[in-house]
Chain A
Amino acid sequence: MTGARLLTRALADPASVAALDADDWTTLLTMARAEQLIGSLAHRLDGIAMRDAAAAILGDARLSMDHARRQALWEAEMARRALADVDVPVVLLKGTAYVAAGLSAGIGRSIGDLDILVPRDALGVVEEALIERGGWEWVKEDDYDDAYYRDHMHELPPLIHKERDRMIDVHHTILPLTAKPTPDAAALLADSEPLESGLRVLSAPDMICHAACHLFADGDLAGGLRNLWDIDRLLRDFGDAPGFWDRLGECADRHQLSRAVARALRLAERLYGTPVDGDVAGRGRAGDALYIRRLLARDGWGRETRKGLRGAFYIRSHWLRMPPVMLGRHLWTKWRKN
C-alpha cells in the first residue's frame, strides 16, 4: 500500500482495520498523528474491535480532541463577548465553525487558531475591540509582514491572546487579494447563517468553497488529507438536501472557484469515496493523479516523502496567491530577512 492509503482507507472504511497486524496499526496511528487526523480516526473507529494498545492510543486522542473542542468553543465565545458591542456579523470559519454548528466534520477534529470572517470595512473596529476589550495583542512587530498582511492578504496579521496564548485570525475574505480568483466576500456574509449564540457560520455551499480554497491555496497542500476529510464529512452532511448540488455549483461559480471546488470533489471521491455530483465535480483531469500522490506523501515513521513533488506544490501555491513579479519580490525579501 503506497503512502498514506492505509489512513485514507481506515477513515473511509472502518471495517478495513480488522485485517491490520501490529505493524500496520503502528503505521496507521503514526500517519494519523502526522496528518492531524488521529482524533477523527479515533471517532471513526469507535466501537470497532481492535488491539488494546491501539484502543488506548485512540482513547487518548478522543479525550484530547474533546478538550480541543471545548477550548475552541470557549475562544469563539470570548471573541463574541469582545465584539458584542460592534454591530457587525461575525462568521466562524473552519474547525470552530464545524463544532459550533454540530457538523460531522467537527467530530474529533484538531482545532488550532480561531478563524473569523467580518466585513472588510469593519476590520478597524473589530481589531480595536479585540485589542481594547478582548485582551488580544499583535504576535510580532515586523513592518514588512504587517504591511504585507494589510495590503495583500485576506486577513489581519495574527493576534494572540495575552493570557490564554491562543491565536485569532480575522479574515475579510477567503483568498489573498493577490490571488487570481476573487471570491464574493459580501455574498459570503449575506448568505451566512446565524447560530443560537449570535455568531454565524457560512452557508453549506460556501463552507465547501472555503474548504476547497483552504485545501489548495494554503501552503504546499500541507494538512491536505485533513482538509479533504473536512470536505468529505461536510458533503455527507449536506449532500442529500434538496437543491444542494445546484447551489454549490452556483456559489463556486460566483466565487470564481469552480475549478478548485471541482478538483476538491474529485480528490475526495478518489481518496474517501465521497458521494459527489458529477456535474459539479466535472471530468477527471491529468493533474489529479499528481495531487493524489502529493496528498499521500507520508511514510510509516510519520515522515514527509516525495520532497521534489512537495517543493513543486509549494511554488505552485505561491503562484496561485500572487502574480510572478510580486512573487519574486516577496520571496527575495523573505529570503534576505532569514
Chain B
Amino acid sequence: MSGMRHEFRVTVGPVGFRIGSDWAGPLDAMRRLYSGYPAPGIPDFTVRLAAQRPWRRFIRPSVMIGGDFMLPDAAPMALAHGLLAAEMGMNLQMALGQRRHLLLHASAVERDGRALLMTGLSGAGKSTLSALLGERGWRFMGDEFALLDPESGLVHPFPRMVSLKNEAIGQFGGVVDPARLGPVMTGTPKGTIRHLRPPDDAIARMAEPAVPALLLFPRFGHDPAVREIGEAEIFVRLTQASTNYVALGETGFTALTRLIETVPCRALDYADTDTAVDMVETLWGELA
C-alpha cells in the first residue's frame, strides 16, 4: 500500500494526529517545535499536505490541505507556509471532527487546578493573553481550543503551538528562549505568523484537565473596562464560539448551560496587554 512520502505524529492534549506530507520541510519544522510531545499509536485524525498536481511538488509548489475532514473549495497555500498549513489542517480536523468534547474557540490557562477561559472574536487578544499568562506563573492550556468534557464538566488542555500574529510577535522576541520560536512566515492569509512552543510544564501536564473557574471575553483596543454579561448573551456567544455545538446535540446544550450556570463571566476591554494581565489577576482574585 502506498504511503505518503513524509509522516509526523503528535499528541496534543487528548487528541492524536498524524500528518502526511509530500515535502519534508513542513514536517521538519513541526518535529523541531513539537519535540518531546508524545506520538499516538492510533491517531484520532489524519491530515494530508499534498501537491495540487504531481509536478506542483517541484514547480511553484503549493500545498493542498486534506484529511479525514475537509472543506470543499479550500485554497492551496504556498509551500513556505507549509507549517501553517499543517496547523490549519489539524485545527480543521478538530473543528469538523471532534465529538468527544465540546470544542470552544477559546484560550485557557490554569492555576491551582482551576481554569480561566478566554474567548472572543479573532483579534480580541485571547491567544496573546494566554501565552503571556503562560510565561507569568500560570499553566498554559491552549491558545485556540478549550475542550469541555460533557460528562465531567472539566476542561482539557490543547497546548498546540501558539500562533502569534503580527504585532503580538514582538512581545515575545526578547522574552522567550529563541529555540521555542518557529520561522517567521510573512504574507500568509492571516498576515505575519510565528509559532511559539508552549512552556515545558504545559507540555508535561497536557493530560491534566482543570475545573473551569472564570470565563472572560477580552477585547483589545478599548479603554480598560469590566462589564457583566447576561446569561442568554453568554450562551449565544459561546454557541457561536463552538464549532461542534450543533453536532453534539443535547449533550452540547447540557454541557454549555452547565458551564454558564456555574462559572462567573465578564467582558474585559483593554488597550495594552500589561494592563490586561493586571485586570485578569484582579478578577481572578475576586471571582474565581
Contact = CB atoms under 8 A, between A and B. Distances in A.
Interface of A: 1-3, 22, 25-27, 29-30, 33-34, 51, 53-54, 56-57, 59-61, 63-64, 67, 70, 299-303, 305
Interface in B62-76: 66-68
A301 B44 contact: no
A64 B244 CA distance: 11
25 contacts: A1-B1, A22-B41, A26-B43, A30-B46, A33-B68, A51-B42, A53-B16, A53-B41, A53-B42, A56-B100, A57-B44, A60-B100, A63-B251, A67-B247, A70-B249, A299-B1, A299-B2, A299-B3, A301-B4, A301-B46, A301-B48, A302-B46, A302-B48, A302-B68, A303-B50
Contacts, number: 60
Contacts of B205: none
A316 to B, nearest CB: 24
A30 B1 contact: no
Given A67-B247, A70-B249, A305-B2, A30 B68 contact: yes
Contacts of A303: 48, 50, 66
Contacts of B249: 67, 70
Nearest to A28: B42
Which applies to chain A's interface (DSSP): helix, strand, loop or mixed? helix
B145 to A, nearest CB: 16
A26 B20 CA distance: 13
B40 interface: yes
Interface of B: 1-4, 16, 18, 20, 40-44, 46, 48, 50, 66-68, 99-100, 247-249, 251
A302 B48 CA distance: 9
B10 to A, nearest CB: 14
Contacts of B46: 26, 30, 301-302
A1 B1 CA distance: 8
A63 B251 CA distance: 10
Contacts of A22: 41-42
A25 B42 CA distance: 7
B99 A63 contact: yes
A26 B42 contact: yes
A19 to B, nearest CB: 15
A300 B1 contact: yes
A56 B2 CA distance: 27
B207 to A, nearest CB: 14
A37 to B, nearest CB: 13
A51 B48 contact: no
Contacts of B68: 30, 33-34, 302
Contacts of A26: 18, 42-43, 46
Contacts of A1: 1
A26 B42 CA distance: 5
Given A2-B1, A53-B16, 16 more contacts: A22-B41, A26-B46, A27-B1, A29-B42, A53-B41, A53-B42, A53-B43, A56-B44, A57-B42, A61-B99, A64-B247, A67-B249, A70-B249, A299-B2, A301-B20, A301-B46
B193 to A, nearest CB: 26
Nearest to A22: B41
A64 B169 CA distance: 39
A60 B99 contact: yes
Which 4 residue pairs across A and B have the least CB separation, nearest first? Answer: A53-B42, A60-B99, A22-B41, A33-B68
Nearest to A50: B42
Nearest to B46: A30
A299 B50 CA distance: 14
Contact of B99 (A64, A301, A302): A64
